[in-house]
Amino acid sequence: MNEKNAAVTWEGIEAKEFDYRVCPATGLLVDTKAEKLVIANAVAAVICLTLGGIFALLISLTRWQTIHLLDATWYYRLTTAHGVDMLVAWIVFFEIAALYFGSTALLNARMVSPKTAWLAFVLMVIGGGLANFAILTGKADVMFTAYVPLKASPIFYVGVILFAVGALIGVGLFFVNVFVAKAEGRYTGSLPLVVYGLVAAAIIAVYTLLSGALAFVPALFWSLGLLKQYDPAFYRNLFWSFGHPAQQINLCAMVVVWYMLSHITTGGKTPNEKLSRFAFILYVLFINLGSAHHLLVDPGPSFPWKVFNTSYAMYLAVLASMIHAYSIPAGVEIAQRKKGFTKGLFGWLKNAPWKEPGFASLAVSIVIFGWIGGVTGVTIGTEQINMLAHNTLRVPGHFHATVVGGTTLAFMGLTYYLIPLVFRKELRMKKLATLQVYSFGAGMTLVSIGMIIAGLQGVSRRHFDITFANAAIQGGIPQGVHIGLALLGIGAIIAILAGTLFVTIVLVSILNPKKVSPTSVTLVIPQESVNVPETKKEPSAKGTFVLVLIFLMFFATYYLSNWWLLGRTWFIR
């Protein structure tokens, strides 16, 4: 392995032009320059996750009213920092790592311009550093949304802009890599589905990051005093054209990771490539409309505008997610049935590799993302129902299920497999890794549900003291609120412990000097099978169909009960 610069030709291409090694798992060429970039971005991501996690614990213990740890200023400050470090830094660094991995290692291809990629990395590091500096020194107590006319120091806007520019360059490089790989004939036929999904994520990333620049560049000028007026409604629209699709990059990347994990741990593939690809196209076309669901109760936009946009033109992006929510488990079911686990509707599920961290994270991530995140998101994103939920804790309750229980957990699961594939180190403490996945999932479920319980009773997000102890006008709060906030606090402690475990396992594994032996590296983990049936017929995914129907019933119940709740409040029009 790692025979540098050997003049090997591979399908007629001189491989000498870049340093490479042959991946023992896939037999594909791995560009070591690309690999270093993947590692750098992944490490930066984990550092940001650690930082954001520390802030998460502190603000959670503040919201848990019985503990009420921080003072008001630091609660607001660290909530701002948590938003930036998690939602922007951790997620985007990891996605850039995934894009580089997908456009090189998975395509047998090379990083076309490593220098540019390093430039992008440096810009992101400096940008993230500046934003954190501004926030932690009290120059940007504005939350990560920085709603105009609440003003932050120019350093904050410069930081965000530099980070976004760096990310945009990284995304650009991804496209260049894919095109050059095709042009140089490094892969033949169609793109693999997971790279196809990454292309979708990257297309969304381009218009997302451009909107981000459109929102933040005028904000910078305004903060410098060069621009006198910046319309707040206009800013909100631009900001969410960045902030919302940014979540859809996560969604898209997470779905890709789901496909990867299901393949790595069970050998599953999508039952229908056409359908899965179609679903990715729906994301690209419709998901950006979703930015409107942050403006549902804003003055300005009209009813038809709000409804058309929030429904993603008839919930076509939701349809896409429901397609993946079927295709991925169906892929697993079919793979399992082929291995002989054919008993009843759910024998395949019972015999799935539950002890494998990758499968555990796949399953937990799908459940939290779909059942909590997806259902609550569509519900509170409904024009009229949003009046019950806007700016209450139900909103972070929803997105911690999507972006944390869903995306972050899936990314953690994938990291365990990148350790042998990319870092070429053995995954240590594998049993603990599985435990880590389940406990992080359990903690985040409590966090989300706790927030939702409190939010349903009207508790605001981004609010230091919902008992209004020092306010001039007093208001009572329902007792049930404290239960919700305590669940949030307890869940946070569990999730943070599990997060610490994640960082520990990763560090212990990659700092271990011994390289993994190439023969033990495989892409798809060894599969158990029992008396494999003789039939040639492709098994069908009946079990999954039943599961998704149960899901739909739960969805309908939650959704309709919210209309009922809305019907009980004051009349308003």
Q: Which residues bind ligand HEM (CB under 6 A)?
A: 53, 56, 59-60, 63, 79, 82-83, 86-87, 90-91, 143-144, 396, 400, 403-404, 408, 447, 461-462, 492, 495-496, 499
The nearest distance, CB 405 to another protein, in angstroms, is 22
CA atoms within 13 A on the CB side of 383: 15
The answer to whether the beta carbons of residues 360 and 405 sit under 8 Å apart is: no
570 is in the binding site of which of another protein, ligand HEM, none (Cβ under 5 to 8 A by kind)? another protein
- Structure-token pair, residue 402: 């999507």
Among 247, 311, 445, 448, binds another protein (CB under 8 A): 311
Residues 526-545 that bind another protein (CB under 8 A): 538, 540-542, 545
186 is in the binding site of which of another protein, ligand HEM, none (Cβ under 5 to 8 A by kind)? none
The nearest distance, CB 268 to another protein, in angstroms, is 10
275 is in the binding site of which of another protein, ligand HEM, none (Cβ under 5 to 8 A by kind)? another protein
From residue 328, give the alpha-carbon distance in Å to each of 75, 321, 341, 536.
40, 11, 17, 22
In whole angstroms, what is the distance from residue 476 CA to residue 353 CA?
A: 49
Nearer to another protein, 188 or 519 (CB): 188
The answer to whether the beta carbons of residues 163 and 128 sit under 8 Å apart is: yes
| Interior angle at CA 372, CA 370 and CA 373, nearest 5 | 70
Nearer to another protein, 100 or 502 (CB): 100
Nearer to another protein, 162 or 219 (CB): 219
Is 69 buried (19+), middle (13-18) or exposed (0-12) by CB count in 10 A?
middle
Phi, psi of 124 (to 5 degrees): -65, -40
If DSSP codes are grouped into helix, strand and coil, which group holds residue 118?
A: helix
Which range touches another protein (CB under 8 A), out of 172-180, 335-343, 366-374, 460-468? 460-468
Query: Does residue 300 touch another protein according to CB under 8 A?
Result: yes
Query: Does residue 346 touch another protein according to CB under 8 A?
Result: no
Residues 462-521 that bind another protein (CB under 8 A): 462-466, 468, 470-478
Is 242 buried (19+), middle (13-18) or exposed (0-12) by CB count in 10 A?
buried
Q: Helices 114-136 and 154-183 sit at what angle, rounded to 10 degrees?
A: 160
The nearest distance, CB 403 to ligand HEM, in angstroms, is 4
Among 41, 62, 457, 509, binds another protein (CB under 8 A): 457
From residue 397, give the alpha-carbon distance in Å to each of 241, 394, 511.
21, 5, 36
The enclosing H or E element of 107 equals none
**Residue 472 DSSP one-character state:** S
Nearer to ligand HEM, 399 or 416 (CB): 399
The answer to whether the beta carbons of residues 141 and 73 sit under 8 Å apart is: yes
The nearest distance, CB 106 to another protein, in angstroms, is 7
15 is in the binding site of which of another protein, ligand HEM, none (Cβ under 5 to 8 A by kind)? none
Q: 448: which residues sit within 8 A by CB, 6+ positions away? A: 368, 372, 373, 397, 398, 400, 401, 405, 491
Nearer to another protein, 153 or 457 (CB): 457
The nearest distance, CB 485 to ligand HEM, in angstroms, is 9
In whole angstroms, what is the distance from residue 110 CA to residue 34 CA?
A: 7
From residue 343, give the alpha-carbon distance in Å to each of 9, 350, 352, 533.
49, 10, 13, 12
The nearest distance, CB 399 to ligand HEM, in angstroms, is 6
One-letter amino acid of 334: I
The nearest distance, CB 487 to another protein, in angstroms, is 19
- Structure-token pair, residue 453: 């319980």
The nearest distance, CB 442 to another protein, in angstroms, is 29
Which residues in 465-488 are b (16+ Cβ under 10 Å) and which e? ebeeeeeeeeeeeeeebbebbbbb
The nearest distance, CB 265 to ligand HEM, in angstroms, is 23
Tell me the number of residues near another protein by CB under 8 A. 99
271 is in the binding site of which of another protein, ligand HEM, none (Cβ under 5 to 8 A by kind)? another protein
322 is in the binding site of which of ligand HEM, another protein, none (Cβ under 5 to 8 A by kind)? another protein
For the beta carbon of residue 431, count every other beta carbon within 10 angstroms. Answer: 9
From residue 225, give the alpha-carbon distance in Å to each of 153, 207, 218.
11, 28, 10
Among 388, 421, 422, 506, binds another protein (CB under 8 A): 388
Phi, psi of 458 (to 5 degrees): 95, 5
559 is in the binding site of which of another protein, ligand HEM, none (Cβ under 5 to 8 A by kind)? another protein
Nearer to ligand HEM, 195 or 437 (CB): 437
Among 42, 181, 366, 548, binds another protein (CB under 8 A): 548
Nearer to ligand HEM, 28 or 70 (CB): 70
- What is the x/- site pattern for another protein, positions 246-285, by CB under 8 A? -------------xx--x-----x-xxxxx----------
Residues 348-387 that bind another protein (CB under 8 A): 378, 382-384, 386-387
Omega before 478 cis (within 30°)?
no
352: left (phi over 0), alpha (psi -120 to 50) or beta: beta
Phi, psi of 425 (to 5 degrees): -120, 155
The nearest distance, CB 179 to ligand HEM, in angstroms, is 30
Query: Does residue 76 touch another protein according to CB under 8 A?
Result: yes
Query: Does residue 318 touch another protein according to CB under 8 A?
Result: yes
